[in-house]
Chains A and B, each alone.
Chain A
Amino acid sequence: MSNFLAYTVVGLCTAGIFAIAASGLVLTYTTTGVFNFGHGAISMLGAFTYWQLHIEWGLPEVVAVAIVLLVIAPLFGALLDVGIMRRLVGTTDATQLVVTISVLAAAVGVAQWIWSPDESHSLNHFWEGNTVAIGSVRVTWHAVFALALALVVALGLRLLLFRTRSGMTMRATVDDRKLTMLNGARPGQSSMLAWAIGCSLAALAGILAAPDQGLSHTVLTLLIVNAYAAAVIGRLHSLPLTFLGAVILGLADSYGTGYIDLRNPYLGGFRAAIPVIILFIVLVLMPRSRLRGHSAARSRESFPPPTFRGALVACGCVILATAIVATMVTEPDALTLSRVFAIGIIALSLVPLVGYAGQISLCQMSFAGIGAVAMAHLGHGGSPVGLVWAALLAAAVGAVVALPALRLSGIYLALATAAFAVVLDRWLFVLPNFNIGPIDIKLFEFGSVPVGRLHVPFVNPSSEKAELVVLAVAFCACALVVVAIRRSGLGERLLAMKDSPAACATLGLNLTTTKLLVFSMSAAMAGVGGAIYGGTAGTVTADRFSFFESLPVLLLAVVGGIGSIGGAMFAGLVLYGIPLAAASLAWFANPGRVLPGTMGIGLGSNPNGVVPDLATRFESLRRSRIVQVGLGIVLVGLVVLEKLEVLDNWPFAILCVFAIFAAPAIADLLAWKRPDAEPPLEWAGVTRPFSDDEIRALERVTV
């Protein structure tokens, strides 16, 4: 009994910090509608800033805490709001989520840049050395203080939201932004206040947690995952329930250590997975959300449907370009480049799911992991049969995930998939082999498994260059599948579901089967991508397919343009192409680490993504046959020059890029001679069909 009491006391102390972190999260969500995935990273930045002021520069504790919590963190929050979050109005949940993931990535990159992970950073408790005895256990004053503070914060926020005018405005803004504005409120002001307070609370949680959790870039960022669970128990809006959630998680953490027999190899990873299992259960038990009538109707995002002809041309170009590149790079570089396509396929699997259907998945790499495992055990050294198994098994798992997730949407769905991914990588992926009835389940065999390279007939499997071209073809095949989905009736249903689930249900569309189908298909494609990706890595461990590997893939796919095939290619290029190209540039190491994050942050101003944006610039090129031919001749000429060794690789690449970007400009110049070719907007659609640009322009017209 005394042990039970001891574990209870210790668990409650942990709960205080969870509660503070979670209430910050709830505050920003209830007042701005943005679920901040980067909350933990902000905690981490806050704790490091405090370390810098207090330990490194020697400011007294109180002064340092005050500067961080009252000046730096609120300023940072206000900047986040003005610079990033406010521009997200009218974007989809996926875009908003990705922007906060970008904040996370950028924050960790910047923190590693400033505070080297090689150095030791540590913080002491407040009132270091002072403890109180409660029963047989002793707790620090620091922990008691944190718990008390958590109560004060919860009460304070409650008062702020329900008893003050600004709090009322904050809540009203989320309920109905326009109505609130009509009533004379200024939503900008209240969202800035919310972000300022939210960041300040995040920093407070970081400073309180650092002495016990360690001042580490990753640990602090990740442990806030527990706070997500607490926030979800509070349904992202109830502060008292959030506090209760924090208590439940703190206790579960403590009892898990005390009462689970961790010597059992099957339970070893279970304790670490408890918070996310709780998160998953809570999400599944949550009352079904209302079908939204017009969730994305006001979205600024639009993706024109791809045509088969366009896709075939693009695929031809990609395969041709890959073949040319393959002749120029070394074998090891070809291997690295082949991962561009492997990751590209995984990113491609997000296009129907996130881009078309509007369902967010944060577990795509987990599906990829299933695919890799299937390839390892059933692929017999890389035979395409392994890909079939990878697709089937991943699809089955995808369906299993989708079933409980069917009733969820938006951020809740994202969190459920995240929880699933974390359960896999903390617990299931690290299990030894086991049986379910007569079926032997082999995952990563408690270590690593060798995965065969994809081996197709007539291709020399030991040539990385040949493999690179094979993977380019595989990527294109998957891309055509995605185009086929988009152009089929299913594609229309997916878009309809994204635009208005309620309208779809009214028209008799079965949302359940549609969701299940798209989840399975997406998982299958991710499985194929994972099987190929595993092959490029040789031997894989579960780490490669963890939750935190899914984030950059989703991030970059959205930045690239989640509704477009090019966006998927972009994700692969940024993850493996750019680092390869920049490998020789030592100065690029640190900016390179921050790059993906900063890319995502810019999404607010261009939610369609980079590739569709570029594509519109190439519009004029599409219309000018002469310039197309000219460009073709120039490129062929460059390739010849390179082959004759007149040009080096770098000048060749630069000239190619230059030629490709100059082409639309030249086409514009040629078209410019005939000003009457561009009738005023009012005449578009009458004298000739609408162009994509005009459709977009029309969408912006407000009556």
Chain B
Amino acid sequence: MRHRKAAALAAVLVLVLAACGRSDSNKEASSSSSGTGSSSSTSGGNNDLTAVANGGFGDIKNVCSPAPSGTTLTASDKGVTATDIHVGTITDKGFTGRAGLNKEMYDTAVAFSKWCNEHGGIAGRKLVIDDRDAKLTDYNGVILASCDADFSLVGGGAVFDDADNGGRVACGLPNIAGYVVTPKARVADLQVQPFPNPVYKMNVGGLKAANTISPDALKTSSVLTAQLPATVVVRDATVEAIQQLGGTVVDQPIYNANGESNWSPFVLGLKQNNVKFMHMVGEPENLALMEKAMKTEGYYPDAIIETANHYDKKLTEGGGDAIKNTWVGMGYIPFELASTNKATQDYLDVMKQYNPDGKVAELGAQTFSAYLLFAQAATECGANLTRTCMLDNAKKIKSWTGGGLHAETNPGDNVPSPCFLLVKASASGFEYDEAMTKPNQGKYNCSPDNIIDLKNDYGVPKS
């Protein structure tokens, strides 16, 4: 019966996923971090060290490996024994208002650990995944449990991730995050995000693309959201970004977080203001409904550009042929391009083989990237695996693509990547839009100009 929250929640998720929409890397594009750690291959026979069957992933060789001969493993830190490493993956999948929320993250963690352990584990220690289900309301509870038992948090995330009041940092638990939501948690210590999502930097590549479709589209922008603190912060940041790009936000409608009975009044508002560019900080379900109302009224903005949480079949299936002029900006290679991108295909293969009933989704790929980064950082520590060592190694990684799952980022400095790509949404699903993306690096459009610094105050100190 905590249903109201489901809606609220879903809206918050937006934010979350918006995180994965922003990719970054500093300068150099290109080479993905190949696992610098373990070099000795464990694979028998086949000499392609990046093949999933040989323990490789994307362009990474030997993600997991047995202990180098001659090393003795000991219980070197909390959550580590001679044979195992306990890591926690936080989700909200047990939230009764929306069963299975973000379960793809846990499902991916399970698949990763099975696959990794089959190839020797993290330098000889088996990964044991602890299911840390915050059920939306129990974040501090799972942090407490994890502090007690886990070496680190990896690849997870929870909607109310500021609820531990710094408990995670206080107990020294590192977080190689799948996603981070609240501003407080985004600036927290002992944390590395494979896909950085800092508060005061924003990838605006997708927004800028609006002007490609229709000159000066940003001059008449409308940014919608629901009255939820978490989404309003993102709305405000987006409004500031549009202004920095020389645009004007003519309207900022607020819709009911519990849903709207009729979206037509909102379309009338767009029509009245002659809005050419629209952005909804919200859920794909609601955008689908709003576009259905646009179809009825016969009015569409020239460009509707959304963040990666709208890369969801709930948009295309829910909206059907009403979905028009709609793009989603992402930092990940979409699953539609799996056949042309080894890492994406590898992710799908690992899931299929090791957790065939698990859910596959964008956020799962993000979890996978976090596990890859963790594996690399932890493997480099070798036998003497400590939290500090792992975290230090993770922070040394300045260029990261998750084996090619996503655009290059700089997790070590928590700087977002200047790359993006756009997929076009329609009744038939999502399709990579090369003309809109104007790629200059593989499938991505990368440029330092895609990143802007936000100047307004978003409630946390600018580091």
Contacts and interface: CB of A to CB of B under 8 A. Distances in A.
Contact of A548 (B4, B227, B261): B4
Given A122-B288, A447-B229, A218 B4 contact: yes
11 contacts: A104-B1, A120-B314, A131-B298, A214-B286, A256-B265, A258-B269, A272-B255, A332-B145, A450-B165, A548-B2, A589-B94
Interface string A240-260: 000000000010011011100
Contacts of B422: none
B99 A117 contact: yes
Interface in A185-223: 209, 211-214, 216-219, 221-223
Interface string B221-257: 0000001111011000000000000000001111111
B144 interface: yes
Contacts of B296: 131, 138-140
A589 B230 CA distance: 28
B81 interface: no
B25 to A, nearest CB: 30
Contacts of B264: 10, 13, 137, 139, 254
Contacts of A540: 163
A350 to B, nearest CB: 16
Interface of B: 1-9, 94, 96-100, 103, 137-142, 144-145, 148, 160, 162-165, 167, 182, 227-230, 232-233, 251-266, 268-269, 272, 285-286, 288-289, 292-293, 296-298, 313-314, 317-320, 359, 459
A543 interface: yes
A331 B100 CA distance: 26
B261 A538 contact: no
B141 A430 contact: no
A81 interface: no
Question: Taking chain B's interface residues, is the majority helix, strand, or loop, or is none over half, making it mixed?
Answer: helix
B162 A539 contact: yes
A100 to B, nearest CB: 12
Contacts of B272: 3, 258
A332 B268 contact: no
Contact of B256 (A18, A140, A272, A446): A272
Across the A-B interface, the 9 shortest Cβ-Cβ residue pairs: A219-B259, A257-B265, A538-B140, A332-B145, A218-B3, A272-B256, A447-B229, A269-B227, A120-B317
A666 interface: no
Contact of B293 (A212, A427, A539, A596): A212
Contact of A219 (B7, B137, B182, B230): B7
Given A18-B261, A138-B297, A548 B1 contact: yes
A549 B95 CA distance: 13
A552 interface: yes
Given A116-B99, A271-B256, A335-B140, A212 B232 contact: no
A217 B148 contact: no
Contacts of A605: none
Interface in A538-590: 538-541, 543-544, 546-549, 551-552, 555, 589-590
A426 B182 contact: no
A219 B142 CA distance: 29
Interface centre among B148, B167, B265, B292 (most CB of A within 10 A): B265
A400 interface: no
B8 A543 contact: yes
B3 A221 contact: yes
A549 B263 CA distance: 27
A14 interface: yes
Contact of B288 (A117, A214, A218): A214
The CB with the most chain A CB atoms within 10 A, among B148, B227, B252, B272, is that of B227
A668 to B, nearest CB: 38
B141 A213 contact: no
Contact of A108 (B3, B9, B103, B266): B3
A211 B263 CA distance: 11
Contacts of B251: 263
Given A226-B261, A272-B254, A541-B229, 4 more contacts: A108-B1, A222-B4, A448-B160, A555-B1
A537 B160 CA distance: 10
Interface string A336-349: 10000000000000
B266 A214 contact: no
Contacts of B293: 212
A539 B188 CA distance: 15
Nearest to B228: A430
Contact of A268 (B1, B3, B232, B289): B232
Contacts of A117: 6, 98-100
A593 interface: yes
Interface string A113-125: 0001110101010
Nearest to A255: B265
A514 interface: no
B4 to A, nearest CB: 4
A444 interface: yes
A301 interface: no
Given A7-B268, A218-B258, A222-B4, A263 B252 contact: yes
B160 A6 contact: no
A607 B98 CA distance: 31
Contact of B289 (A112, A212, A222, A447): A212
